[in-house]
Chain A
Amino acid sequence: MYRRLPALLLACLVAPAMAGGPGYVGVPGGSFRSAIRYEESGDARSVAAFALMERAVSNADFARFVERQPQWRRDRVPALFAGPGYLGHWESATGPGAAVAADAPVVQVSWYAADAYCRAQDARLPTFLEWEYAAAADAHRRDARGDQGWQALLLNDATARALDAGDAPPNAYGIHGLHGVAWEWVDDFATLMGDSDKRGADDGDKLKYCGATALAFNDRQHYGVMKRFALLSALQPVNTLGNLGFRCARSQP
């Protein structure tokens, strides 16, 4: 029996990292006060445990997917599923080429393409809440949002000066690059129903969303989240952007 103990211990240590499969990291569930004021609760929402990809999907990853599912090549994908900029930064329809970093997050991908990639792995895109929950962590704390200095750095998300640009260390969950040079698709971006002009949001039109008004913000100081929300809620699923990529998530049983 004693011989099994080290193996058991090893299994326990490895389990969180392997949760969800290779390349995925387990994120334990918890109570979380989102920056978005959802209608249900003024305050904390409950986030169930889930697994999130350790790193955003890279150009090399996506090239392998396109090889296996050639209907997602930029010269074959229907206009319904991807806009004209789809994979425009790649040298050819089959791969990024030498000029594009193979392990950099793939960008210029539509929501349909990102969703198809994740489904091919029995995974899905994370929800906005899951993404926000995982991204509230810095290198040491699972919720670093009280730190004004750290919050200020988030204003550079999706620019060349982003916190996680380059070889940044993982956050407290072991996840890399959530505040990197690219925004990331979420599964329910279309549900972030906000008015394009937020200045009248609280006096919303109840009919526009059938009984509800546009989503508002709990905390007006989370400018990093506000910027992200403004971008995601503006997108159509067919859009591609030079600084918009994705990573996948898996629900835990």
Chain B
Amino acid sequence: MKRKNNPLLYYALACAMGATLAGNAFAADNGALQGEPIKAVLTAPPMVPPPITRSAPAKVIVDLEVVEKEMKISDGVTYNFWTFGGSVPGSFIRVRQGDTVEFHLKNHHSSHMPHNIDLHAVTGTGGGAEATFTLPGHETQFTFKALNPGLYVYHCAMPPVGMHIANGMYGLILVEPPEGLPKVDKEFYVMQGDFYTEGKYGEPGLQPFSLEKAIDEHPTYVVFNGAEGSLTGDNALQAKAGETIRMFVGNGGPNLVSSFHVIGEIFDKVYTEGGSKYQENVQTTLVPAGGATIVEFKADVPGNFVLVDHSIFRTFHKGSLGILKVDGEAKHDIYTGQQSSKEYPQGEPAGK
């Protein structure tokens, strides 16, 4: 049965499609809050809280505690980190656009000074910093509405701000668009940071912060998730061949921009700078200091895929290296590995 061509219908369809693809692809949800207040599930890196399944804004309660603690930064080397939730980067927070977030910031009794928080997802003075000035042993509270979807950095903004950030006080907050993100098999939380110590790279023991190196922007360590080795060996990220992977990648700085690349993989989608639009087929993407990106790809073949900052000397000499270990059956139609290696006869010498 033949259908009559209806140009008007095609035109209407094209307009409708064009309208959804151009400009804001997703309508914001500024509806009324529904349901009981929800206590946000926070995770330590590299884990990410589960995707949000509700379809209406809600009141979400976030409880985050600042803890100052000495932890390993490299083999034989420790550092006095100041952390949100006990980890560097700090706990991952996941909410939905339109949510009203009631934020509680605690500062552990053992902290030696006050801390606060500036979340880039907050529209309001200081991103929350002026409302969360928290002495040791105290708790402050403020509430904000998550107006914009996206992946945002949060960090401490207590003077001297550079020092607080340099000591590891940063993390990520994801504000999902109302219809959520497309489903993937694995989600990971990776955040790069540069660290400045009095001693040289590898010098053992507890290393103090070096203000001079921080001002000169000459880091001693550039690492993922607060330490060299945080994503290698037993700590490597794991996936199976065929799985779709999404990485929430942040850069706490304080100084360096990251040229994020996964050796042996191509990013099918990059939500540039953690925003709502994506680029496709990207090898290396820039992550600004105090910024983030979302990368998605399918782990087509098994192997060890290396997360790096492609400013390559810092990867091999300062520690910005992580591993994604993909298990599964080899797929020789996509990648064979080495097929042969042999001598070839010497012909005329080159240059004659």
Contact = CB atoms under 8 A, between A and B. Distances in A.
Complex A–B touching at CB under 8 A: yes
Interface of A: 85, 148, 151-152, 155-156, 158-159, 161, 194-200, 220-221, 223, 226-227, 229-231, 234-235, 239, 241-243
Interface centre among B113, B129, B135, B161 (most CB of A within 10 A): B113
Contacts of A230: 113-114, 158-160
A148 B212 contact: yes
Contact of A242 (B110, B159, B198): B110
15 contacts: A156-B208, A195-B130, A196-B133, A197-B157, A199-B129, A223-B211, A226-B159, A227-B159, A230-B158, A231-B113, A231-B114, A234-B135, A239-B135, A241-B135, A242-B137
Interface string B314-333: 00000000000000000000
A202 to B, nearest CB: 13
A137 to B, nearest CB: 21
A223 to B, nearest CB: 5
B129 A197 contact: yes
Nearest to B157: A197
B153 interface: no
B201 interface: no
Interface of B: 80, 109-110, 112-114, 116, 118, 125-126, 129-130, 133, 135-137, 157-161, 163, 198, 208-212, 215
A155 B209 contact: yes
Given A241-B135, A242-B136, A197 B125 contact: yes
A207 to B, nearest CB: 15
A242 to B, nearest CB: 6
B130 A197 contact: yes
A74 to B, nearest CB: 16
Interface centre among A161, A227, A243 (most CB of B within 10 A): A227
B163 A223 contact: yes
Contacts of A156: 208
Interface centre among B118, B135, B210 (most CB of A within 10 A): B135
Contacts, number: 75
A1 to B, nearest CB: 58
B136 A241 contact: yes
Nearest to A221: B211
A234 B135 CA distance: 7
The prevalent SS among residues of B at the interface is loop
Contacts of A242: 109-110, 136-137
Given A197-B126, A226-B160, A243-B136, 11 more contacts: A161-B208, A195-B130, A197-B118, A199-B129, A220-B160, A221-B211, A227-B113, A230-B113, A231-B113, A239-B135, A243-B112
A196 B127 CA distance: 12
Nearest to B211: A223
Contacts of A198: 159, 161
B203 to A, nearest CB: 15
A243 B135 CA distance: 11
B255 to A, nearest CB: 15
Contacts of B126: 197, 199-200
Nearest to A220: B160
Given A197-B129, A227-B160, A239-B135, A152 B113 contact: no
A227 B162 CA distance: 12
Nearest to A157: B112
Contacts of A226: 159-160
A220 B126 CA distance: 20
Contacts of B137: 85, 241-242
B135 A235 contact: yes
A189 to B, nearest CB: 13
A60 B80 CA distance: 32
Contacts of B116: 196-197
A102 to B, nearest CB: 23
Contacts of B208: 152, 155-156, 161
B250 to A, nearest CB: 20
Nearest to A160: B112
Given A148-B212, A197-B125, A199-B126, A234 B159 contact: no
Contacts of A195: 130
Contacts of B118: 197
Nearest to A239: B135
A156 B110 CA distance: 14
A196 B135 contact: no
B77 to A, nearest CB: 16
A223 B135 CA distance: 18
Nearest to B131: A196
Contacts of A194: 159
A190 to B, nearest CB: 15
Contacts of A200: 125-126
